[in-house]
A and B are shown apart, each in its own frame.
Chain A
């Protein structure tokens, strides 16, 4: 079974500062993928960034980067230069292999950017 743990229910960050959202995972699969999604109040899940278990470099997408530490089973999302529009729920998710192909989500972190 796969499990995602997000231990920060809510975070408040000053605009333009960087923020790190924590995510740890557990799986017995050797090959797996880690995803971060943003969910604004409208409800839609917006894909942000992906990291594969065999990727040697940390993934980056614009202001988003993923701090992947495989030995610690952590996949933290870093948002640089936060903006007011970043206020939303953020979910970490993973997909495994052969029977674990569905996305498994954590409980999320509500991020609020303060002007």
Chain B
């Protein structure tokens, strides 16, 4: 297993278009997290899954954002009607378990630019 994989690495889209990102976690990990990171800031939590169940969504996640994790494997994050403010790095992380010492492994991110 080569770690957490995110595709695409870069996405340029026109304002108003829909985009979808994919995250493939480490295979035995039951938890999957999505974060958004804007320039010069730390990652901000968006949502997370335990297996296929979406357990928490941030208030940052507007109605235009939706995430799925069918069958508890890969996950997709869709942004509808993109806005320039959606331009950011979208990071995916996975972990096994819920203990406080559980390390989260991150992918290399998808950088979204909305023009």
Binding site for B on A (CB under 8 A): 4, 6, 31-33, 35, 37, 42-47, 50, 52-53, 91, 93, 95-97, 101-108
Contact = CB atoms under 8 A, between A and B. Distances in A.
Interface in B37-57: 40-45, 48, 56
Interface in B93-110: 93, 98, 100-109
Contact of B103 (A44, A47, A105): A47
A interface SS class: loop
A43 B91 CA distance: 9
A45 B33 CA distance: 13
Contact of B108 (A4, A6, A44, A101): A44
B42 A108 contact: yes
B71 to A, nearest CB: 22
B89 interface: yes
- Can you list the 5 inter-chain pairs with the closest CB atoms, starting with the nearest? A105-B42, A45-B106, A33-B100, A44-B108, A43-B109
A12 to B, nearest CB: 17
A46 B106 CA distance: 7
A44 B104 CA distance: 12
Contacts of A96: 100
B7 to A, nearest CB: 14
Contact of A106 (B40, B42, B103, B109): B42
A44 B9 CA distance: 11
A97 B102 CA distance: 11
Contact of B101 (A42, A52, A91, A106): A52
A103 B91 contact: no
A95 B100 contact: yes
Contacts of B42: 4, 6, 91, 93, 105-108
